[in-house]
Amino acid sequence: MRTTGQSHDGDRRPSREASPLVAIEDEPEPRLLADPPLAGPLSEGRVFIQYRAENLRVLPVFGAGALSVSPRVGHVHVTIDDAPWHFVDSGGETIVVVGLPPGEHQVLIELADPTHRVIDRSLIRFRVPERMSAENH
């Protein structure tokens, strides 16, 4: 039988990184990492942007009381093409945007704390191609 955290040769090694169930002292600053849109869906006019946060769990937790939660929690703001509004995502899943016209576009993803203070951001620029009609195939 193997004990968690114990290697075969008896050396103690951590079985995982920090647990989401235990407070972390001196947490490193959160970071947002975002990829360009997935090529396959983009070629069909659908924008799928994968992202992840480091040192922050993306969860639907809001308000000043959540600032003291450890490990840290937050969400993302998503702004399309410099719109005067944004939407909030707290699921941590792929961002999906459909219905953009062909041409140049950008999506601003902002990592925010539970009070909506922006911590980090990533600007993704891309081109939605012209859609080919069935007659052009």
pLDDT-based confidence at 58, cuts 50/70/90?
A: very high
- pLDDT, tens digit, for every residue of 78-126? 999 999 999 999 999 999 999 999 999 999 999 999 999 999 999 999 9
Instruction: Give the pLDDT confidence score for residue 63 in this predicted structure.
Output: 93
Q: What is the CATH number of the domain that holds 82?
A: 2.60.40
Q: Is residue 96 part of a domain?
A: yes
| pLDDT reported for residue 27 | 79
Of the two residues 136 and 71, the one the predictor is more confident about is: 71
Structural domain includes residue 13: no
For residue 13, pLDDT beyond 60: no
Asked whether residue 11 is assigned to any structural domain, the reply reads no
The backbone region for 40, taken as left when phi is positive above 0, alpha when psi lies in -120 to 50, beta otherwise, is alpha
In a domain, 88, yes or no: yes
Which two tokens mark 124?
Answer: 């993704």
Task: Answer yes or no: is 82 within a domain.
Answer: yes
Confidence label for 136 from pLDDT (cuts 50, 70 and 90): very low
Distance between CA atoms of 122 and 106, rounded to whole angstroms?
A: 10
User: Residue 54: what are its φ and ψ, rounded to 5°?
Assistant: -105, 140
Whether 18 is covered by a domain: the verdict is no
Confidence of residue 70 (pLDDT cuts 50, 70, 90): confident
pLDDT band at 19 (very low <50, low <70, confident <90, very high): low
d(CA 57, CA 92): 8
The answer as to whether 12 is a domain residue is: no
Range of the domain at 122: 31-136
Higher-confidence residue of 66 and 125: namely 125
25 domain residue, yes or no: no
Among 8-17, 62-71, 79-88, which stretch is predicted with the lowest mean pLDDT?
Answer: 8-17
Q: Give the SS3 label for residue 134.
A: helix
Structural domains in the chain (count): 1
